[in-house]
Chains A and B, each alone.
Chain A
Amino acid sequence: MTDHTLSSPQPKQTRRLPQINPVYFILAALIVAIILNNPNFVEPSGYMNFLKRAAPLAILAAGQVYVIVSGGFDLSVGSLITLVVVGSSMLSNNDPSSTWWVICVMLGIGLGVGLVNGLVVCFLKVPSLIATLGMMITLNGIAFMWSGGAPRGYLPESFRYFGRFNIRDVPLIQMLPVAVIVMAVVGFALYWLMHRTNLGRMIHAVGDNPRAAQLAGVPINRVRVSAFVISSLSAVIAGILLGGFGGVSTDVGTGYELQAITAAVLGGAQLLGGRGSVPAAIAGALTLTAIFTLLNFLGLPQPVRQVVQGLILIAAVALAMYRRKRTGQ
């Protein structure tokens, strides 16, 4: 935005509009609509619960952006979430002192999954769609094998703290869910990594034109593997939040991979690479959650939600392509 301050005031008005990602306008409009339907939403318990609910998807979308910008997909995040929740319950078995090492083990598993995804794509040359699809099926199977089909332990309160607990009596906002703090911290870290470091620039370069990036000396394989690792780690964190929020179950992660991609795309990320922003993806996740909340308040049944989600998905991308064609050339 800074370079626009140099331009003259007249064209600034007209040129600046397309520069702001439309997802923010959509999000704002949706929130206004929610408030009109449910005035309680302006209470802290209203919007804080909303943010708490959106936190796992927001983190997941922020991680997914890394893979999408680098030119791939990560379909394995949903089953990784399931594996994290089921695995944590198996390892911790209601022992509060286990929380920290269990979280470390889970992050380790995430690291491993991301590495395998990345290595399979980069060195076995399997397209990421298939590689991560295979990983999705495999991880789901592993989660079930590990637990024998049903989780065998409880998650201790100290583990569930991150996804469940609300800090009370906070000045101004009364309550502050821990999940929202986690979202803010992870979101900022991912923003900084993507938009303020060399790694972020290289990820963009690799996704935009891999051949050119390679010739320019970008270590393509290392960059792409890092993107998959970051996505997997974000799925682990999302899994910890979801397990904390809802407790143990066997199908926590189902459908999250497509929601994460949808959120990233709503935030303007371009499939097959080169474009995408972490804050916009988080806004995309909030938008998606806001749509569901609104449809819920309007009392619309599940089928309508699906249709609306489908139409919005197509419309968002079509609009982005239209704008790109008009302004980009």
Chain B
Amino acid sequence: MSDATAGSVRAPAMRVRFERWAPALLLLAAVTMYVVACLATGQTQYLNWNNFLAVIGRSIALGITAIGQTFVILVASIDLSVASLISAVAVLASVVMNGDPAMIVPAIGASLILGAIVGLINGLIVTRLDVNPLIATLGMSLVIQGCLSAFVSNFAGAVPTQFQFFAYGNVFGLPFAILFFFALALIAFFVLRFTRFGSNIYAVGGNQDAARFAGISTEKVIIAAHVICSLCATVAGLYLASRLRSGAPWIGANGVYDLESIAVVVIGGTVLAGGRGGIWGTVAGVMIFSLIDSIFNVLGVDAFVKQVLRGIIIVAAVAFYAVRTRRIVA
């Protein structure tokens, strides 16, 4: 909020600024609650550097998925197939590697191709066949999960130790996965902020017809967003394969990455109707989710109460932004 004096004083600017800083406010509130929870229960040992890293590292898979989800939600689409894709990629990668370090690159390649194909199909169904994205990606999710379960029913294959570096390795004393996540977020930020494609995404999400009249190939933009989202889910799947040392057909569904990634994006201030929001909000949303988990653990909250609170928190956080809108929401 420090730049409040530097910014303009006109009313519309105030609103824009609120939207930009709201995720940071929520994050600050979450951090404060975490610190208070630790102090109140006398568990100050949780307030150290290692635990700080552990908190950030909690939700890397969710975070990577959510970065992709941000792109599709910005173009007013949505992707429910990420959880199944994560499972499929984790299984595919660990099967192709099968403990052999030489197969790491082919496995990553095959996974990315699979991700790109899924994203492409999602995008084509949404744009060419005009199917509501919720239905299109839900259907896709069922198809992927079905194909996967037809072949594999348990952990399959194995990831070589070298590949476990992704999840467990350290660079300059920092976990590689955390650095990777922030690097990915930074790239996504640059793409959205400084490229033609990025501004096209906001234009298409804001008003598809207007964007089309302005000469933007809206279909291509939407398809590209879907491909990016699926590729991010692919990377999340690779990360989970590395973290779990193998892939199983249920890991995506068990992590509820589909609905949670949407919730995180929305908590980060990106609007489901498209066109407004950004990556840093999503990053804040992911951290808020991690902090909520950690707060629950510190306070020793009962597993069922956790669920109730989490449900309420999601709605309350979204209401925190949305209550000001004057539009009628879907």
Which residues of chain B (127-171) have a CB below 8 Å from chain A? 129-132, 134-136, 138-143, 145-150
* 6 residue pairs from A and B, CB less than 8 Å apart: A129-B134, A129-B330, A130-B262, A145-B308, A309-B139, A318-B130
Other than the given A129-B134, A314-B135, A314-B136, 12 more pairs (CB < 8 A) read: A127-B329, A127-B330, A130-B315, A133-B311, A258-B138, A262-B138, A303-B149, A305-B146, A310-B139, A310-B146, A311-B139, A313-B139
Q: Are the CB atoms of B149 and A302 closer together than 8 Å?
A: yes
Q: Does A121 contact B (CB under 8 A)?
A: yes
> B3-11, B19-27, B49-57, B319-327: which lies at the A interface?
B319-327
Number of contact residues on A: which range applies?
Answer: 35 or more
Q: Are the CB atoms of A137 and B310 closer together than 8 Å?
A: yes
Q: Are the CB atoms of A210 and B328 closer together than 8 Å?
A: yes
> B39-47, B200-208, B211-219, B299-307: which lies at the A interface?
B299-307
Q: Are the CB atoms of A314 and B330 closer together than 8 Å?
A: no
**Cβ contacts under 8 Å, A73 to chain B:** 134
A176→B166 CA distance, assembly (Å): 61
A307→B151 CA distance, assembly (Å): 13
Q: Does B314 contact A (CB under 8 A)?
A: yes
Q: Are the CB atoms of B322 and A317 closer together than 8 Å?
A: no
**Cβ contacts under 8 Å, A129 to chain B:** 134, 262, 272, 330
Q: Are the CB atoms of A130 and B147 closer together than 8 Å?
A: no
Q: Are the CB atoms of A130 and B312 closer together than 8 Å?
A: no
Q: Taking CB as reference atom, which chain B residue is nearest A142? A: B308
Residue interface mask A143-166, B partner, CB < 8 A = 1:
011000100000000000000000
Q: Are the CB atoms of B307 and A137 closer together than 8 Å?
A: yes
Q: Are the CB atoms of B134 and A271 closer together than 8 Å?
A: yes
Q: Does B318 contact A (CB under 8 A)?
A: yes
Q: Are the CB atoms of A141 and B145 closer together than 8 Å?
A: no
**Cβ contacts under 8 Å, B306 to chain A:** 141
Q: Does A131 contact B (CB under 8 A)?
A: yes
**Cβ contacts under 8 Å, B131 to chain A:** 314, 317-318, 321
Task: Choose one: A128, A142, A309; the contact of B142 (CB below 8 Å).
Answer: A309
Number of contact residues on B: which range applies?
Answer: 35 or more
A71→B330 CA distance, assembly (Å): 6
Q: Does A196 contact B (CB under 8 A)?
A: no
Q: Are the CB atoms of A141 and B304 closer together than 8 Å?
A: yes
Nearest Cβ on chain B to A127's Cβ, whole angstroms: 5
**Cβ contacts under 8 Å, B309 to chain A:** 141
Q: Does A174 contact B (CB under 8 A)?
A: no
Q: Are the CB atoms of A134 and B322 closer together than 8 Å?
A: no
Q: Taking CB as reference atom, which chain B residue is nearest A324? A: B130
Q: Are the CB atoms of B307 and A140 closer together than 8 Å?
A: yes
Task: Choose one: B266, B304, B327; the contact of A145 (CB below 8 Å).
Answer: B304
Q: Are the CB atoms of A321 and B143 closer together than 8 Å?
A: no
Q: Does B116 contact A (CB under 8 A)?
A: no
Which residues of chain B (62-97) have a CB below 8 Å from chain A? none
Q: Does B125 contact A (CB under 8 A)?
A: yes
Q: Does A126 contact B (CB under 8 A)?
A: yes
Interface residues of B (CB under 8 A from A): 125, 129-132, 134-136, 138-143, 145-150, 259, 262-263, 266, 272-273, 302-312, 314-315, 318-319, 322-325, 327-330
**Cβ contacts under 8 Å, A133 to chain B:** 259, 262-263, 311, 314
**Cβ contacts under 8 Å, B329 to chain A:** 121, 125-128
**Cβ contacts under 8 Å, A128 to chain B:** 329-330
Q: Are the CB atoms of B132 and A126 closer together than 8 Å?
A: no
**Beyond A127-B318, A138-B312, A220-B328, is A325–B130 a contact (Cβ under 8 Å)?**
yes
Q: Are the CB atoms of A313 and B142 closer together than 8 Å?
A: yes
Q: Taking CB as reference atom, which chain B residue is nearest A72? A: B330
Task: Choose one: A120, A149, A272; the contact of B315 (CB below 8 Å).
Answer: A120
**Cβ contacts under 8 Å, A307 to chain B:** 142-143, 146-147, 150
**Cβ contacts under 8 Å, A125 to chain B:** 319, 322-325, 327, 329
Q: Are the CB atoms of A272 and B311 closer together than 8 Å?
A: no
Task: Choose one: B130, B132, B266, B308; the contact of A272 (CB below 8 Å).
Answer: B132
Q: Taking CB as reference atom, which chain B residue is nearest A146? A: B304
**Beyond A128-B330, A141-B306, A325-B130, is A120–B147 a contact (Cβ under 8 Å)?**
no
Q: Are the CB atoms of B307 and A314 closer together than 8 Å?
A: no
Q: Are the CB atoms of B307 and A141 closer together than 8 Å?
A: yes
**Beyond A145-B304, A145-B305, A317-B132, is A131–B315 a contact (Cβ under 8 Å)?**
yes
Q: Are the CB atoms of B330 and A310 closer together than 8 Å?
A: no
Nearest Cβ on chain B to A135's Cβ, whole angstroms: 7
**Cβ contacts under 8 Å, B266 to chain A:** 127, 130
Nearest Cβ on chain B to A120's Cβ, whole angstroms: 6
**Beyond A265-B135, A301-B150, is A124–B323 a contact (Cβ under 8 Å)?**
yes
**Cβ contacts under 8 Å, B150 to chain A:** 301, 303-304, 307
Nearest Cβ on chain A to B212's Cβ, whole angstroms: 16
Q: Are the CB atoms of B322 and A321 closer together than 8 Å?
A: no
**Cβ contacts under 8 Å, A201 to chain B:** none
Q: Does A31 contact B (CB under 8 A)?
A: no
A31→B307 CA distance, assembly (Å): 41
Nearest Cβ on chain B to A292's Cβ, whole angstroms: 13
Residue interface mask A87-126, B partner, CB < 8 A = 1:
0000000000000000000000000000000001101111
Q: Are the CB atoms of A306 and B308 closer together than 8 Å?
A: no
Q: Does A278 contact B (CB under 8 A)?
A: no
Q: Are the CB atoms of B142 and A306 closer together than 8 Å?
A: yes
**Cβ contacts under 8 Å, A138 to chain B:** 307-308, 311-312
Q: Are the CB atoms of A141 and B311 closer together than 8 Å?
A: yes
A307→B84 CA distance, assembly (Å): 12
Q: Taking CB as reference atom, which chain B residue is nearest A273? A: B330
A302→B135 CA distance, assembly (Å): 20
Q: Are the CB atoms of B139 and A314 closer together than 8 Å?
A: yes
Nearest Cβ on chain B to A227's Cβ, whole angstroms: 13
A138→B314 CA distance, assembly (Å): 10
Q: Taking CB as reference atom, which chain B residue is nearest A131? A: B315
Nearest Cβ on chain B to A54's Cβ, whole angstroms: 20
Q: Are the CB atoms of B312 and A134 closer together than 8 Å?
A: yes
A192→B259 CA distance, assembly (Å): 35
